[in-house]
Structure 1
Amino acid sequence: MREAFSNALVRLALADPKVLLLTGDHGYALFDEFRKRCPDQYINAGIAEQNMVGMAAGLARVGFRPFVYGLAAFVPVRTVEQIKLDIAHDALPVVLLGDGAGFVYSHLGTSHQSTEDIACTRAIPGLEVLSPADRFEMTASMDYAYATNGPVYLRMGKSDRGDVHTGPVDQLLAGTLLSVRAGRVDRPGLIATGSMVRTAMDIAQELDLAVWSAPMLKPLRFEDVCAAARVTSGLVTLEEHSVLGGLGAAVTEITSEYEPVRVLRIGVPDRFSEHCGTHAYLLREHGLDAESVRRRISAFCLSLQPRATSTALS
């Protein structure tokens, strides 16, 4: 997925000399091709992310199309104030790229883990939020972000989970859920985003469940969420993000108003990690590993089955 990101960025920059890449002293190997082919469109702003966001706002005001890259713990979390006031307030066309979201930078501890970035960005007016699951969604997300005339945050989580689509996503429409697997209508459906789509696909194969990918978290079309709710017995959301303010929150906000249905939110509990370790370890600690997720979904399936009623009177 990172290769698809790099390729899309180079392609956009070659086609439009106004495209600029700003990085906070990160991603050197990732941007080797960009620096080689577009050296005059590359800016290393150093370890000064707040200044970098302000610089991008100024460049956007004079006609450039800045893509601002950093770790998700810093872009957007460290720079929320600058994103809100310098970019979003005036609807400037800046694309913010947060890499390593979730527990990707596991060994570096809480300071480098980002499980609140969706919640932070969803609450900023006018800022769209993207969360691609594979290389095809990444390419479509980059094209969408470039084509829009306002600010966009693009979240990159674990990037080596493999494809969830069999081919290119022709066009990413605002807020649309992408159906990636059909399933039984008498069972819950899974709505997942980012790295958790692969987990959802693997579990759905075993339990014969429908799966939708949500590469765009804001806006999220209520029509799509309601349609998914109507063809299933309940909904399960999966995200490598806090259960507060992310995909699960967005889905429950929609269903509570337009299509009441039971929703199971699977994400990071409202607490910090207790220990440091590998990405796989942290998924287990927070109940996001495949086995833990499978158990919760199986229990949810059972809870949705109608209970046998007795006609005997006590």
Structure 2
Amino acid sequence: MRDAFSDTLVRLATADPKVLLLTGDHGYALFDNFRKSCPKQYINAGIAEQNMIGMAAGLARAGFRPIVYGLSAFVPVRVLEQIKLDIAHDLLPVILIGDGAGFVYAQLGTSHQSTEDIACARSIPDLSVYSPADRFELTACMERAYNAKAPIYIRMGKSDRGDVHVDNLPEGINGLLELKRGEAQNIAFIATGSMVRTALDIARERYPRAAVWSAPVIKPIDKSQVVDICRLSSVIAVLEEHSVLGGLGSAIAEIASELAPTRVLRIGVRDQFSQHCGSYAYLLKEHGLDQPGIEKRLEDYLSAN
């Protein structure tokens, strides 16, 4: 997925000299091709993320198309006020990239783990939120963000869980993408980012009648699609490598409660910090987001309801 990000970034910047990349002293190897192809369009703003957002806002006002890159624990979380006031309030066309979302930087502890970024970004008016699951969704999200000319946050997990699509997506993705067709009155899975691969594996192995949907666009979400899925399913299981508070699961539950009441099981990070340090796989297990942990959660919920 990171290669797709780099390739798309170079393609956009080569075609449009107004595209500028700002980074907070991160991503050196990732941007080797960009620096080689577009050296005058690269700005290392240093470890000063708040200032970097202000720079991006000023450049956008001057007619440039800034793309701001940082770890998702810092962009958007550390710079939320600057995003709100400098960018979103005035609808400036700035694309914010938060890399390493979720538990990818596991060994670096809570300061570098990002499980609240969707909730933070969702709550800011006029700021869209994208969360691609593979290289195809990433490319489509980048192209959609560039064409939108609006404030957008793209959440990118550094771990590559493999492709969930087999080919490039049609231009202009607008909502949920069906990956596995299901049957009415059965469980349906809606997942985003790294959890889409897990949802597909669980559905194919344990719930063959279940539909699986990927949500690369979390805000604005297609309410009519969500309503249709809710009306055809007795249970919606929402999977995300993010807090259950304010993330995709909350967005689905909000729509279901108002427009198509059904049971929504939010599977994500509970209201707690990581208790121990370890590998990415270890932290997924600690938080019950590895495949066996999710399967048990589903079994317990379905048997009790």
Please tell me the TM-score bracket, short chain as reference: over 0.9
Q: Which sits farther off after the overlay, 180-189 or 9-18?
A: 180-189
**Alpha-carbon distance in 1 for matches of 2:55, 2:28:** 20
Alignment check: 8 A CA contact 1:187 1:301 kept? no
Which residue is equivalent to 2:291? 290
> In structure 2, do the counterparts of structure 1 residues 158 and 182 end up closer, same or farther at CA, with 3 Å as the change threshold?
farther
Amino acid at match of 1:117: D
Question: Are positions 1:180 and 2:182 aligned together?
Answer: no
Alignment check: 8 A CA contact 1:53 1:68 kept? yes
Which residue is equivalent to 1:38? 38
Alignment check: 8 A CA contact 2:22 2:42 kept? yes
Alignment check: 8 A CA contact 1:2 1:159 kept? no
Identity %: 66
- The Cα shift of 1:295 comes to 1.4
**Alpha-carbon distance in 2 for matches of 1:301, 1:226:** 21
SS in structure 1 opposite 2:143? helix
SS in structure 2 opposite 1:86? helix
**Alpha-carbon distance in 2 for matches of 1:158, 1:196:** 13
Alignment check: 8 A CA contact 2:140 2:173 kept? no
Which residue is equivalent to 2:122? 122
Amino acid at match of 1:190: F
**Alpha-carbon distance in 2 for matches of 1:277, 1:158:** 16
**Alpha-carbon distance in 1 for matches of 2:221, 2:259:** 13
Which residue is equivalent to 1:210? 211
Which residue is equivalent to 2:16? 16
Question: Are positions 1:98 and 2:101 aligned together?
Answer: no
Which residue is equivalent to 1:308? none
Amino acid at match of 1:250: A
- The Cα shift of 1:230 comes to 1.7
| Structure 2, unaligned runs of 5 or more | none
**Alpha-carbon distance in 2 for matches of 1:302, 1:211:** 21
Which residue is equivalent to 2:260? 259
**Alpha-carbon distance in 1 for matches of 2:304, 2:223:** 25
**Alpha-carbon distance in 2 for matches of 1:23, 1:282:** 27
Deviations 1:114-165, CA, capped at 9 Å, x for gaps? 0000000000000000000000000000000000121000000143100001
Which residue is equivalent to 2:271? 270
Deviations 1:182-217, CA, capped at 9 Å, x for gaps? 123232100000000000000000111210000011
TM-score (norm 2): 0.97
How many residues in Structure 1 have an aligned counterpart in Structure 2? 303
Which residue is equivalent to 2:188? 189
Which residue is equivalent to 1:310? none
- The Cα shift of 1:40 comes to 0.3
Alignment check: 8 A CA contact 2:106 2:278 kept? yes
SS in structure 2 opposite 1:143? helix
**Alpha-carbon distance in 2 for matches of 1:297, 1:146:** 38
**Alpha-carbon distance in 2 for matches of 1:31, 1:195:** 23
| Structure 1, unaligned runs of 5 or more | 305-314
**Alpha-carbon distance in 2 for matches of 1:173, 1:21:** 24
> In structure 2, do the counterparts of structure 1 residues 282 and 113 end up closer, same or farther at CA, with 3 Å as the change threshold?
same
Matches within 5 A, 1:6-85: 6-85=6-85
**Alpha-carbon distance in 2 for matches of 1:158, 1:204:** 24
Larger Rg: 1
Alignment check: 8 A CA contact 2:104 2:159 kept? no
**Alpha-carbon distance in 2 for matches of 1:298, 1:181:** 20
- The Cα shift of 1:303 comes to 4.2
Alignment RMSD (CA, Å): 1.0
Which residue is equivalent to 2:170? 170
SS in structure 2 opposite 1:78? coil
Deviations 1:257-312, CA, capped at 9 Å, x for gaps? 000000000000001111111111111111100001011123333445xxxxxxxx
Amino acid at match of 1:132: P
> In structure 2, do the counterparts of structure 1 residues 172 and 283 end up closer, same or farther at CA, with 3 Å as the change threshold?
farther
Alignment check: 8 A CA contact 2:23 2:68 kept? yes
> In structure 2, do the counterparts of structure 1 residues 282 and 131 end up closer, same or farther at CA, with 3 Å as the change threshold?
same
Amino acid at match of 2:69: Y
